[in-house]
Structure 1
Amino acid sequence: MTVLPLFDYGDTIYRSACKGALDHLDVLHHSAIRFATNAPYRTHHCDLYSLANWPSLET
């Protein structure tokens, strides 16, 4: 999946971002996983990470 490298590329920059900006990135990250796995909207983010085998942005 080519979405994950885009998030990984910017991790050194967004590590110093404010909490509000990080919250927006989390929403975008979850949406990307839902799109890539075709998971329903109400799927919990922990389940999304295990379904896609992607790390969270916090790790």
Structure 2
Amino acid sequence: MNNCVETAALPPGLLAVRDSKNTAGPALLFAPTAWGTFVDALRGDALGSGAAARRSAS
């Protein structure tokens, strides 16, 4: 399953994030620094996505 989001910069200094498969749906608004922190946490598996556990089980 492909889970994708789209982002767009909005004035004044906000970032909109939405589900790429539901373009008519709602968007969440974030400060760019908050979104960057979230993405960095995902990349480092700090949120416990279980990706490391799935890799070691393979």
Greater relative contact order structure (CA < 8 Å, 6+ sep)? 1
**Which has the larger share of strand?**
2
How high is the TM-score relative to the length of structure 1? 0.30
The answer to which structure has the higher helix fraction is 1
> So what's the TM-score if we normalise by structure 2?
0.30
